[in-house]
Amino acid sequence: KDNNAIIWQGESLIDGGPTVAIISGLTSPSKNGKTGPMAQVDIIRSDVHPYEAVKLGLDHSICGDCPFRDKPCYVNVAFGPAMKYKAMLNGNIPVMTPEQAGAMLKPKGIGCRTGAYGDPFVVPLEIWQRLHQAADTFSTSYSHQWQRPDFDPGLFEYSMASVDPYNTVEQLRALHPTVRYYRVTKTYDDIDPSTEVRCPSKNDAGERVLQCADCKLCNGSVKAKNVVIVENG
């Protein structure tokens, strides 16, 4: 009956801050207009409200040095992350193993947005392995932490490398020559058609034409071109 569950609690792999990973959509998939019906995992500080974490800079535990922390992040922490934090404080979110949560997703055949808020690197890789093996479905996920010396490339099975004007493709290729990436850009004019494809979620008129639940291009292990999206796209 539970739509949400805590699937991991521990110290952030970025800076050791107290952190929790909460999955939603176990019984009622997300109605997010961009992703469509998918499960969502938010990674938040377990000791402070997400808004306060951003205000105090404690969101470093879950976002690391992501360049968009100091810019308008696409996630409004006052909604999903804040609601999950409040529910957790009130004791309304049960603890499940990743296998239990994955088993609830499997018969539904829906994907999982791993890191709807927060970077998936924060959570030990084995948690994602256990969740996705039990769910037997695809993920959409991005990590900015691929420049860290302790980054585990095994995460690329589930997550794409996130690149942007500050963490470039050239820097990524020097460290991880073959992995797929998700690139944020100012304009689609700079796409390299031999290796990149425009995110197909919107048409030229800016209308939503495809949801992540149906697209599935951002599953890290998919054999496909790299995905490019304009800022706020």
Instruction: Give 60-119 pLDDT, tens digit per residue.
Output: 999 998 888 776 677 888 888 999 999 999 999 999 999 999 999 999 999 999 999 999
Tokens of 212: 């992540």
pLDDT in tens, 178-198: 999 999 999 999 999 999 999
Instruction: Provide the 3-class DSSP secondary structure of residue 184.
Output: strand
pLDDT in tens, 201-233: 999 888 999 999 999 999 988 899 999 999 776
Rounded Cα–Cα distance for residues 7 and 216 (Å)? 23
Contacts of 164 (CB under 8 A, 6+ apart): 67, 68, 183, 184, 185
- Residue matched to tokens 């997400």: 50
Q: 112-117 and 139-140 as β-strands: parallel, antiparallel, unpaired? A: parallel
Rounded Cα–Cα distance for residues 42 and 118 (Å)? 6
> What pLDDT, on a 0 to 100 scale, did the predictor assign at position 78?
85
> What pLDDT, on a 0 to 100 scale, did the predictor assign at position 189?
93
What backbone torsions phi and psi does residue 124 show, to the nearest 5 degrees?
-55, 135
| pTM beyond 0.85, yes or no | yes
pLDDT in tens, 118-173: 999 999 999 999 999 999 999 999 999 999 999 999 999 999 999 988 899 999 99
pLDDT in tens, 107-131: 999 999 999 999 999 999 999 999 9
**Residue 169: its H or E element:** helix 169-175
Rounded Cα–Cα distance for residues 86 and 49 (Å)? 8
